[in-house]
Amino acid sequence: MELNRRTVIAGAAAAGIAATTLGTTQTSAAAAAGAQAASATSGGRKPVKELFGTLADGTKIYRWSLVNGGTRLKVLNYGGIVQTLEVPDRRGHCANVVAGFDNIADYVAKSPYFGALIGRYGNRIGKGRFTLDGKSYQLSVNDGVNSLHGGKQGFDKHVWDVEPFAEGSDVGLHLHYTSVDGEMGYPGTLKAKVTYTLTRHGEWRIDYEATTDKATIVNLTSHVYWNLAGEGSGTIEDHELRIAASRYTPTDSGLIPTGELAKVAGTPFDFRHAKPIGRDIRAGHVQQVQAKGYDHNWVLDKGITARPEHVVTLRDPRSGRTLKIATDQPGLQFYSGNFLDGTLTGTGGHTYRQGDALCLETQHFPDAPNHANFPSTVLRPGQTYRTTTIHTFEA
Closest CA to 130 of 118, 138, 140: 138
User: Is 361 one of the annotated active-site residues of the chain?
Assistant: yes
Point out the catalytic residue in the list 183, 231, 237, 361: 361
Please answer whether residues 78 and 308 qualify as being in contact, where contact means their C-beta atoms are separated by less than 8 angstroms. no
Q: Is 33 helix (H, G, I), strand (E, B) or coil?
A: helix
User: Is 223 one of the annotated active-site residues of the chain?
Assistant: yes
Contacts of 210 (CB under 8 A, 6+ apart): 190, 191, 192, 193, 218, 220, 379, 384, 385
Point out the catalytic residue in the list 2, 86, 203, 223: 223
C-alpha 210/C-alpha 214 separation (Å) is 12
Q: How many C-beta atoms lie closer than 10 Å to residue 39's C-beta?
A: 14
- DSSP assignment, residue 219? B
Q: Which amino acid is at 313?
A: T
- DSSP track, 125-149: EGGGEEEETTEEEE----BTTBEET
Strand pairing of 262-263 and 309-315?
A: unpaired
Please answer whether residues 253 and 124 qualify as being in contact, where contact means their C-beta atoms are separated by less than 8 angstroms. no
Which positions are annotated as active-site residues? 223, 361
